[in-house]
Structure 1
Amino acid sequence: MKIILNPTPSEWKKALDRPVHKMKDIKKIIKPIMAKVKRQGDKALKKFALEYDHVEIKKLLVTREEIQEAKDHLDAELKAAIHVAKENIEKFHLAQESPTLEVEVMEGVTCMRKSIPIQKVGLYIPGGTAPLFSTVLMLGIPANLAGCEEIVLCTPPNKEGKIHPAILYTADLIGIDKIVKAGGAQAVAAMTYGTESVPKVDKIFGPGNQYVTAAKQLATNLGVAIDMPAGPSEVLVYADDTAIPEFVASDLLSQAEHGADSQVVLVASTEKVAKKVLKSVDEQLEKLPRKEMARKALSHSVAIVMSNETKALELINYYAPEHLIIAVANEEEVVNGIVNAGSVFIGNFTPEAAGDYASGTNHTLPTNGYARNYSGVSLDSFVKKITYQKITAKGLQQLGPTVEIMAKNELLEAHKQAVSIRLAYIKNHH
């Protein structure tokens, strides 16, 4: 990681450039995949499994036997850990429920708003270099709590044509029984168009590589909603001399091991802090099983020294990190100054890994600067809010003239008439 000292705002863009592939090139690869799935359905999914996952899939849907086998073979210690995480995530997401809103805005005029679950949702669970069973909890739990009618889960199979037992166990634990052995853009296509085995859904959730992200963005042109545009994962750690360098280094590395295209950023109050952290990064890196992948991620990552705290905050908000760790003395003030971040981790004893797995917040978060205008997944992501209104005769007598005047001035005579005809009726019948 290179160190940059006090860059000016005009230098921020170059210093913080994310390692993103050309979306245009990726979409060129994705479009024919999507088209083939649309035309050939399950047959195309099996073909792509052979081509990309190097495995022959007989049945796309996971059977009850496979789920039972996963439950029997999964380590008891891991099962217990999954249960603790499930409980915390459920508690936090259940608390996000918003009651039906009802307001009488003027006498006889009542407006209401109510949350209704999105009927059919598709969950994409990455299974490439690491099977992310934690994402099953993060997406499945709020989908369940929201009351979504149909939940389908797609995840790539391994070389034996199997799904990782922890993914199956977790899905079963939260009551998801439609699990499809399909990954990549082809899985997104299946959920977008529907195939013989995969239902067409209303909204697609879940992180993935840049092919999955591009396919999700194409799906939005086809009438399917997505949770957010999410690309490779990233973390920014803001540290001063109260931060423990080994902790900061471990957080940077826990992000870097996600994949070669992950990005990690250190913002340090002094060059001394930055050097201490980077020294610890080098020492800890050598001990990691995924060190080559982490090393690649570190090669396009950066340490920036910002000796002015106000400027440091401006830089952080400019970058809009997916994960933001605050390890500085006056944390409260700094936290209050953050307006762009997916999820914030406060203090020396709050590693990003806690939120990734089990503290209760969601780990499906906006990357690539989208934290400026998107939130992470929450219970709200799985519902839509419908508004209602009811007006009594007396209410219309009060409100009607206002509507008539407005409609008349917009030259929409039929709108005005819809009110006038009722007011005349009320006058004659009351």
Structure 2
Amino acid sequence: MDELSLNLLFTIIAILILLSAFFSSAETGMMSLNRYRLKHLLKQRHKGARRAYKLLRKPDQLISLILIGNNLVNFITASLFTVVAIRLWGEDAAVVAAPVILTMVVLIFAEITPKTIAALHPEKIAFPAANILTALLKILFPVVWLINSLTNGILKLLGIDPSIGSNEDLSSDELRTIVGEAGPHIPKRHQGMLINILDLEDINVEDIMIPRNEVVGIDLQESDEDILATLRDTEFTRIPVYDDDINNILGVLHQRYVSRIIDNEGLNRSQLTKEMVEPYFVPESTPLHTQLVNFQKHKHRMGMVVDEYGVVQGLVTLEDILEEIVGEFTSNFADNTEDIHTQDNGTHHINGTTTIRDINKNLDWELPTEGPKTLNGLLLEHLESFPDAAVCVQFDEYLFEIIEVKDNMIQNVKAHRLDSPSEPHH
């Protein structure tokens, strides 16, 4: 074999290795494409994305096409290199040297390097490759069809249905992970809002309601002066009206109509009754995402929360649900007194009516949210009795010292997080 023939063979082998690198990179690039970004690019009429998506719709055909091309190229390369090796080093040396040298060359230049590049930049590799693969599929379709028919038959014998594609549906937890790892593509505040929306299905109305003992309302059994004082001092837009007990609620009064119920003689109770609207009741177990839809459907902005026996437990507003998504966005007179006061020594003075969710959110703690919804309820459930002040309770790594008990409620608690958790005790 003369030198010209050897050079020609080396050139052909080099071209074949490049073709092998193309098939290897195309396979990794196509399979590494983000399916959701691909669908987004389809909506923008991206030509490369459209061709890639069409190929990925039938992954068995795509894989067969790439493997046919890659294996055919590699086998021809091995045959030609063996001929060259025999001519250069003799048959005995070529049997040992040719496989080792060719394996190293193929691994480095036709497998590892192109696949790594494709994995790092799948769109830059897959979209141009889709043009070539689409043309090759038309040329080699009879071969691809024959091989697919044989392999699909074998898969069916093994109890595998190749017609069933992979499930690309996302669960809520998976979507949370995607949003959380979006990085700079989605601002932190927007990430938080999206995650909060997903969390609505895990939170019930009971978790965010204003408890009945904190509900500001109008008791018709009170004097006119007391009712007028309530109307003057309250900052809430909608006020429940009841007779003696909040379970005997008669309606809801909007602040915009207050001027209509006051005349020269003072409070006009008959007019008050006319300006009220019927109360809207909400079961305490209703998930927040459902209640948000119900508020929109029934054109309400406030609902009275009731338990399974119809007893009023508190109230919930549309604003409360929206604040679960975007955070607090209104200044509220009731918020001027914070429920959690952090001290210089690292401890926290917490109001007993503070919800467990608010404590976890503000202090980045992990107190149990199943069961009692407030710190008072959590401590009473654990103690199983009404304690005196200065009693300490420990939950895992959290230590609570009861400072004040009043009216059968724990009013004030000093809490801090320990360095190492231990079993709860008191």
TM-score, normalising length: structure 1: 0.21
Relative contact order, higher structure (CA 8 A, sep 6+) = 1
**Greater helix content:** 2
